Amino acid sequence: MIDDFLGDATQRMDKSVDATHDHFNSVRTGRATPALLDRITIDYYGTPTPLKQLATINVPEPRMLTIQPFDPSSIKSIEKAIQESDLGLTPSNDGKLIRLPMPQPTEERRKELVKVVRKIAEEGKVAVRNVRRDAVHHLKELKDVGSDDERRAEDNVQKLTDDHTKTIDDLLKHKEAEIMEV
């Protein structure tokens, strides 16, 4: 019974770490990556559709993204969605292909991005701690478990929490270094 709670807690903490990692990938660093455009949705015939389902996204150069829509008539709506996003990128198109040059972020912009990344990391840690709280709460509700087993299980949950929090910290350190790199 306790193993089920620990397995569930581990699985939920892993999901929190993965979600934090995905959020990190959507923060612009100055290096072009298709993951930057993951959050962009386009109104395609009345349906909000993720950009990656409407186009091929490539990285021909370290500071350039190209977007080639499957349907050329959607170029204008894709351009509009990119301009309205919080990425701060200006698309240009030649009728078939959209080019997104990635300007080098200023020192001030890099510091802002570090703050954003730290906030994302803190949200991830809060999610992990919420899983810990739920697991401990469920362990206390178990009737047929001795206090020694309960204490041991709580220690295991705390160890899981520490491991996952450290993973998020490591991801944060790596992302901060990537952002501050000139």
Q: Per-residue pLDDT tens for 16-59?
A: 999 999 888 877 676 778 888 888 899 888 889 998 899 999 99
Q: Which two tokens stand for residue 84?
A: 């309205």
Residue 84 to residue 93: CA distance in whole angstroms: 16
pTM tops 0.95: no
pLDDT at 131: 93
Q: Which two tokens stand for residue 17?
A: 């770490």
108, 138, 98: which is closest to 7 by C-alpha?
A: 138
Contacts of 61 (CB under 8 A, 6+ apart): 32
- pLDDT tens readout for residues 80-104: 888 888 777 889 988 889 999 888 8
> Taking the CB of residue 142, how many other CB atoms lie within 10 A of it?
14
Q: Which two tokens stand for residue 146?
A: 């001795």
Residue 18 to residue 23: CA distance in whole angstroms: 9
Residue 1 to residue 77: CA distance in whole angstroms: 53
